[in-house]
Amino acid sequence: MAGAAEWIDPQARPLLTMLERAEKSLEGQLEKQLRAFESGLAVPAWGETRLAALLVPHMVQVADHAVQIQDRAWGKIQHKDVDTFRLALVEWARAHGAELAVNLSKATEARIRAAIVEGAAQGWTNDQLRRFLQQGLVPGLPGVNPRTRAEMIARTELHNAATFAQEREALGLAAQGGDLIKVWTATRDNRTRLAHRRAHGQTRELKDDFQVGGRAMSRPGDPRGGAHNCIRCRCVSRYMPRSYLATDRQRSAASILQVARRRPDFTASVVSMAADMDGALAEVVLRAARREPGWSAAAARAALAAMEAEASAAGNASATGGE
- CA pair distance 288, 303, nearest whole angstrom: 18
Average the pLDDT over each of 2-11, 84-93, 306-315 and give the range with the smallest value.
2-11
Assign 3-class secondary structure to 245-298: HHHHHHHHHHHHHHHHHCCCCHHHHHHHHHHCCCHHHHHHHHHHHCCCCCCCHH
Longest dimension (CA), the chain: 71
The residues spanned by each domain of the chain are: 2-177, 250-319
For residues 182-192, give the mean pLDDT: 90
The answer to whether residues 270 and 287 touch, using CB atoms and an 8 Å cutoff, is: no
Q: What percent of the chain has pLDDT over 70?
A: 90
Give the pLDDT of residue 60.
94
pLDDT at 14 over 60: yes
Distance separating alpha carbons of residues 136 and 146, to the nearest angstrom:
8
Point out the least confidently predicted range of 53-62, 67-76, 110-119, 232-241: 67-76
- Per the rule left: phi > 0, alpha: psi between -120 and 50, beta: everything else, 239 is beta
State the virtual CA torsion across 78, 84, 89, 93 in degrees, nearest 10.
170
pLDDT at res. 319:
45
Structure confidence at residue 135 (pLDDT): 81
Give me the chain's average pLDDT, please: 88
Mean pLDDT (whole number) for 37-51? 92
- List pLDDT tens digits, range 202-221: 999 999 999 999 999 999 99
DSSP for 169-224 reads: HHHHHHHTT--EEEEEE--BSTTS-HHHHHHTT-EEETTSPEEETTEEESSTT-GG
Residue 81 has a pLDDT of 64
Does residue 317 surpass a pLDDT of 60?
Answer: no
Question: What is the predicted pLDDT for the residue at 4?
Answer: 44
**Cross-strand partners of 183:** 203, 238
End-to-end C-alpha distance for the chain, whole angstroms? 29
Residue 237 has pLDDT above 80, yes or no: yes
Using left for φ > 0, alpha for ψ between -120 and 50, and beta otherwise, residue 180 falls in beta
Q: Tell me the per-residue pLDDT of 252-302, one tens digit each, with 9 for 90 and over.
A: 999 999 999 999 899 999 999 999 899 999 999 999 999 999 999 999 999
Q: What pLDDT is stored for residue 193 in this prediction?
A: 93
The H-or-E segment that residue 236 falls in is strand 236-241
For residues 156 and 230, the answer to whether their CB atoms sit within 8 Å is yes
70 CB-near residues (< 8 Å, 6+ apart): 166, 169, 170, 239
- Mean pLDDT of the region 57-73: 90
Q: Give residue-wise pLDDT tens across range 78-109.
A: 555 666 777 888 899 999 999 999 999 999 99
pLDDT band at 163 (very low <50, low <70, confident <90, very high): very high
pLDDT tier at 133, thresholds 50, 70, 90: confident
Q: Say how far apart CA 250 and CA 223 lie, in whole Å.
A: 31
